[in-house]
Amino acid sequence: MNEIPKTRIVRCPTCGGDSIFAPGNQWRPFCSERCRQIDLGAWASESYAVAAPPPTGDDLDDPSGLPH
């Protein structure tokens, strides 16, 4: 009854190659340290910013940004 867990292979978010999704892969979900660093650099340079409409006058008056 001792089942060996199957190795889960996922797509690396950076290069699209195979990546082992297991505690033994210190860069998971990435396939390598290089892909992990590329992704971190993209976050740091704000390449993953989400487009949003420009703020309106109401948005500029309320610094909290919360709806009324």
The CATH number of whichever domain residue 27 belongs to comes to 3.30.50.10
pLDDT of residue 53: 84
Cα gap 33→41, rounded to integer Å = 12
In a domain, 22, yes or no: yes
Q: Which amino acid is at 66?
A: L
In a domain, 44, yes or no: yes
Cα gap 41→58, rounded to integer Å = 34
pLDDT of residue 40: 95
Q: Under DSSP, is residue 45 helix (H, G, I), strand (E, B) or coil?
A: coil
pLDDT tens string, the chain, 68 residues long: the values are: 566 667 899 999 999 999 999 999 999 999 999 999 999 999 999 888 888 888 776 666 656 655 55
Question: Degrees (nearest 5) of the Cα angle 8, 26, 13?
Answer: 60
* Domain with 11 in it: 1-50
pTM of the model: 0.62
C-alpha closest to that of 47 among 38, 55, 56: 38
pLDDT of residue 45: 92
Hunting for tokens 């860069």 — which residue is that? 27
